[in-house]
Amino acid sequence: MGWRLVALLIAAVMVSGTAGYMLIEGWSLFDAFYMTAITITTVGYGEVHPLSTAGRAFTVVITFTGVGAFFYAFTLFMTVLASGELIERRERKRLTRMLDNLTDHFILCGFGRMGEIIAREFARQHVPFVVIERNTDRMQLAMEHGFVAVEADASSEEALRRVRIDRARGFVAAVSTDAENVYAVLSARLLRPDLFIVGRAESDDARTKLQRAGANRVISPYHLGGLQLAQTALRPAVVDFVQLATSSENMDLNLEQVHITAESPFAGCNLVDAGLRQRFGVVVVGIRRADGKMDFNPEPETTIRAGDDLVVLGRAGSLKELEGAAAK
């Protein structure tokens, strides 16, 4: 509002000054405008034409009015600069541009201990994502890490639209409470019935509610942690291998899933005819069927169907080649 007032005041001074010199002195439009401009800016040039007494009195009024307007504008500018409003506006515009450019990304709700781990893993694997966190300090922490973050309630449909849920690849509800996760999942499912959603649950009751709200997968950190501890104690070599195969820090060996579409050249072929090991140097350790059934260590004659997800083990470059070939 202050900037509009300053602009209107300066414009009014310029218009009234130009009109005043034309009426009082009978000058041309350009001479009157030029005289007004050098007067209110106090540049110190001489008079365009000799002034009458009335013209000099009018010049005094224009001088005080114009200088006052410019002084007010300068004061307003320094106030905005000192308060950091300009920087905030620039950051908001930059964030808006980044959000508008998001596509095929994950929406991560919550940046607590769990959310930070997820965000770091996404970043290591160069997966685009945006963080929604309603706590100001945590949101600032996410931004300090270089992540795209928005301060908002994850259950707000307006906030979800702002982070482009219409173009998102997946949704992760990792807020600290079960109730917030349920509401976040429900809101996301209402906006995107086809979106892949993962929810965090602290209790068995919350697991059921998250599934009913629309979560495709529900993860309990305590349950997984207990299983990991037990498996490490019983089968340390197996756990080491799985960690090696799934860790993004190990670039020589990765365990990845490759989706088979109806247009894929592998759809309808068996593993022998597809020649995945010979062509790409990867090992198919499992096939998740479209109905969710998992076929472990499939036989060579096993048929690959449209909608399947191949769980393959191989080098990162080979997996990229396979993904590209499967998508053709």
Q: Which of 20, 55, 83 is the last residue of a domain?
A: 83
Is residue 265 situated within a structural domain? Answer: yes
8-state DSSP, 49: S
User: Of 83, 114, 147, which residue sits at a domain end?
Assistant: 83
In this predicted structure, the answer to whether residue 134 has a pLDDT above a threshold of 80 is: yes
Per-residue pLDDT tens over the stretch 211-258: 999 999 999 888 888 888 888 888 887 777 777 666 655 556 777 888
Q: What's the total number of domains in the chain? A: 3
Contact 114, 221 (CB under 8 A): yes
Percent of the chain exceeding pLDDT 90 equals 30
Beta strand 283-288 pairing with 294-296? antiparallel
Q: What is the pLDDT of residues 13-27, one digit of tens each?
A: 888 888 888 888 888
Distance separating alpha carbons of residues 71 and 39, to the nearest angstrom: 14
pLDDT of residue 313: 85
Residue position matching structure tokens 């114009």:
66
81 compared with 93, residue with greater pLDDT: 93
Q: Residue 109: CB partners within 8 Å, gap ≥ 6?
A: 115, 132, 133, 154, 171, 172, 173, 174, 175, 180, 181, 184
The pLDDT, as a whole number, for residue 2 is 58
Q: What was the pLDDT predicted at 210?
A: 93
Cβ(122)–Cβ(106) below 8 Å? yes
Residue 232 lies in a domain: no
pLDDT of residue 65: 81
Closest CA to 108 of 90, 127, 89, 93: 127
Between the CA atoms of 41, 46, 52 and 56, what dihedral angle is there, to the nearest 10 degrees?
A: 30
Does residue 237 belong to any structural domain of this protein? no
Residue 112 and residue 55 in one domain: no
Q: Which domain holds residue 181?
A: 102-225
Residue 33: CATH number of its domain: 1.10.287.70
In a domain, 236, yes or no: no
Q: Is 166 found in the same domain as 57?
A: no
User: How many CB atoms are closer than 10 A to CB 268?
Assistant: 14
